[in-house]
Structure 1
């Protein structure tokens, strides 16, 4: 027959062992979850770093990247290993970027001034020649045909003499005319401004 005190002591020991087992076993799943979660921020950081680009100024044209003198975005490794080491360009420092911005502003101002001057010239041609047109005298044969053709140089000379404007003959497309009458010359004053000048051909005897 088992002694009551011994039975009580044995029960207490079994309860204590069971409690110890639960304490040790419970936290284990938490450790595994933390282990799976830890690499995520590291992977995100690597992706962000891989997507970063740097600005370079090309001193030579690189096919598929950009032309000489252009500011382009490339991967850091490509910038160092290909562009810089290959002598194809330089990393765009704050000083270089400031110079580029200043030159761009200067070029924009010059382009605006050139276009404004062309618009003014267009208005002056209208004011000087208007609807009556630019008179050019040519020798005429008995059949009424003019000798030669209307040349760009003749139109340029007439514009300079009567309007005081200098236009390169390369920028003038004269009309094709075989006799007296009227035609239209295209005077390119700017890449965005072209004046259509009425040409009046009359016999040189008049």
Structure 2
């Protein structure tokens, strides 16, 4: 099935890309999550609009991505969350919470969809998360998760 991506999907493409995927993957995963739309001849017009929007938001060059990477790696991010006994959290830390904490710590404004968690953060302490700034640039951000009083 031919689809048009509306959001970035790792291993598949970026917004505005027209890709061919298996029918089940599109029908059961991509379309219900609204990260893609079906390709039609009329939809081709939408592709150009999606690409223009992506260029405005996207980090354009590797140099710019490296500048943002240096800013991110220099920021101390502290996140206060509700926790129970033994340091376990009620739920887990989400990429949106991480993006807000980076911004409030004085770092650059980053898109929550660019934050890659290897596994969910469900405990107190220091954690590392990756931020994919550019297809070739990956920033590592240290996060200190502490209990909210």
Q: TM-score, normalised by structure 2?
A: 0.54
More strand by share: 2
By relative contact order (CA 8 Å, sep 6+), the higher-ranking structure is: 2
Partners of 1:143 and 1:127 in 2: how far apart? Answer: 30
Counterpart for residue 95 of structure 2: 152
**Mapping for residues 64-103 of structure 1, pairs under 5 Å:** none
* Pairwise CA distance, 1:143: 3.8
1:130-171: per-residue Cα shift (whole Å, max 9, x none)?
A: xxxx21111111343111101100111112222341211111
1:185 paired residue among 129, 132, 148: 129
* Pairwise CA distance, 1:116: 1.4
Partners of 1:187 and 1:158 in 2: how far apart? Answer: 14
Gapped regions of structure 2 (runs ≥ 5): 1-57
Partners of 1:138 and 1:117 in 2: how far apart? Answer: 32
Partners of 2:139 and 2:104 in 1: how far apart? Answer: 17
Q: Give SS of 2:132's match.
A: strand
Q: Report if the CA contact (8 A) 1:182-1:198 is conserved.
A: yes
Q: In the alignment, does 2:145 pair up with 1:201?
A: yes
Structure with max Cα Rg: 1
Partners of 1:123 and 1:186 in 2: how far apart? Answer: 13
* Pairwise CA distance, 1:177: 2.6
* Pairwise CA distance, 1:113: 4.9
Residues 113 and 171 of structure 1: CA distance in aligned 2, closer, same or farther (over 3 Å): closer
Q: TM-score, normalised by structure 1?
A: 0.40
1:71-103: per-residue Cα shift (whole Å, max 9, x none)?
A: xxxxxxxxxxxxxxxxxxxxxxxxxxxxxxxxx
Q: In the alignment, does 2:107 pair up with 1:161?
A: no
* Pairwise CA distance, 1:201: 0.9
Residues 186 and 114 of structure 1: CA distance in aligned 2, closer, same or farther (over 3 Å): same
Q: Report if the CA contact (8 A) 1:135-1:199 is conserved.
A: yes
Counterpart for residue 43 of structure 2: none
More helix by share: 1
Q: Give SS of 1:140's match.
A: coil
Gapped regions of structure 1 (runs ≥ 5): 1-110
Counterpart for residue 92 of structure 1: none
Q: In the alignment, does 2:125 pair up with 1:125?
A: no
